[in-house]
């Protein structure tokens, strides 16, 4: 994959999809439907997916594409592919809480190598540059003109006073039990893949996920975190979280700055 070609395309499609999502988000009303697994889907998910998948297929026709909203793509097999969640955090979107993102990533040999996470309602964008360094962009998010970029890096964690981030919609007792193994200074909640990005910027030190996620939920944030010097490992044995699994379902995991002294599950 030519990363110099890939990164601008992912960034542009994320911005275009974000504009479409915000158009629907700011409307008076929008329909919420249920998918076969009872998870919600809106016109924003579908419009963003159509835009992103068409753009990726046009630019990279020979690369396997997996996207949440196209069930047929879930039958694909391989460890190198583009993967999309056009609207991560649909529940946040429905409740107009703002913590939703556009996620686009490229996985190579099971590892998310490049990704973009765009939170249009929060006006925050994170992506990996062609060289792999993770950055946050600020500015007007122009389609062609890249705004000011700031390199982001994980924290040098203080293990006696850790900053924890956890899911806003899926926090449970098992998550709290694990968090309680650490010396915690503060804990915050965030929706969607923004949790990875808060670890990537050093705003949090660790994000444990004791709950179901799919690869399209995590790949872009995972790529950004890797590009900021972070790591994502399985919750059970602390081996790296890999992609291209049989059904694209993730085990429980921990995303963290390497200076955090991980506790056993």
Contact 81, 107 (CB under 8 A): yes
Tell me whether residue 198 is annotated as binding.
Answer: no
Burial 113-151 (b: 16+ CB within 10 A, else e): bbbbbbbbbbebbbbbbeeeebbbbeeebeeeebeeeee
Tell me whether residue 51 is annotated as binding.
Answer: no
Tell me whether residue 72 is annotated as binding.
Answer: no
Contact 205, 199 (CB under 8 A): yes
How far from 155 is each of 23, 66, 82, 117, 190, CA to CA, in Å? 35, 32, 29, 19, 18
Tell me whether residue 85 is annotated as binding.
Answer: yes
3-state secondary structure of 90: helix
Query: What are the residues whose beta carbons fall under 8 Å from the beta carbon of 93, sequence distance 6 or more?
Result: 21, 25, 42, 44, 87, 100
Greatest alpha-carbon span in the chain: 50
| Token pair in block for residue 235 | 């919750």
Tell me whether residue 139 is annotated as binding.
Answer: no
Tell me whether residue 68 is annotated as binding.
Answer: yes
Tell me whether residue 28 is annotated as binding.
Answer: no
* Residues of each annotated binding site for Mg(2+): 68, 85, 87-88, 217
- In the annotated binding site, the residues are 68, 85, 87-90, 217
Q: Which residues are annotated as a binding site for substrate?
A: 68, 87-90, 217
């Amino acid at each position: 994959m030519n990363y110099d070609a890939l990164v601008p395309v992912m960034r542009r499609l994320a911005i275009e999809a974000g504009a479409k999502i915000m158009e629907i988000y700011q409307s008076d009303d929008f329909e919420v439907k249920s998918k076969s697994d009872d998870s919600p889907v809106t016109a924003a998910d579908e419009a963003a997916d159509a835009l992103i998948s068409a753009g990726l297929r046009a630019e990279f026709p020979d690369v396997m594409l997996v996207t949440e909203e196209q069930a047929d793509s879930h039958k694909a097999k391989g460890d190198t592919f583009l993967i999309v969640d056009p609207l991560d955090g649909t529940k946040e979107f429905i409740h107009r809480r703002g913590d939703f993102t556009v996620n686009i990533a490229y996985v190579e040999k099971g590892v998310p190598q490049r990704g973009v996470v765009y939170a249009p309602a929060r006006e925050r964008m994170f992506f990996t540059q062609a060289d792999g360094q993770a950055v946050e962009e600020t500015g007007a998010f122009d389609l062609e003109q890249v705004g000011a970029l700031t390199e982001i890096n994980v924290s040098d964690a203080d293990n006696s006073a850790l900053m924890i981030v956890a899911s806003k919609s899926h926090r449970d007792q098992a998550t709290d039990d694990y968090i309680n193994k650490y010396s915690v200074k503060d804990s915050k909640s965030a929706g969607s893949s923004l949790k990875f990005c808060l670890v990537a910027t050093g705003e949090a030190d660790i994000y444990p996920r004791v709950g179901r996620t799919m690869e399209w939920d995590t790949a872009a944030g995972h790529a950004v975190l890797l590009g900021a010097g972070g790591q994502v490992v399985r919750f059970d044995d602390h081996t790296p979280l890999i992609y291209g699994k049989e059904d694209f379902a993730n085990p429980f995991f921990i995303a963290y700055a390497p200076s955090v002294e991980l506790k056993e599950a």
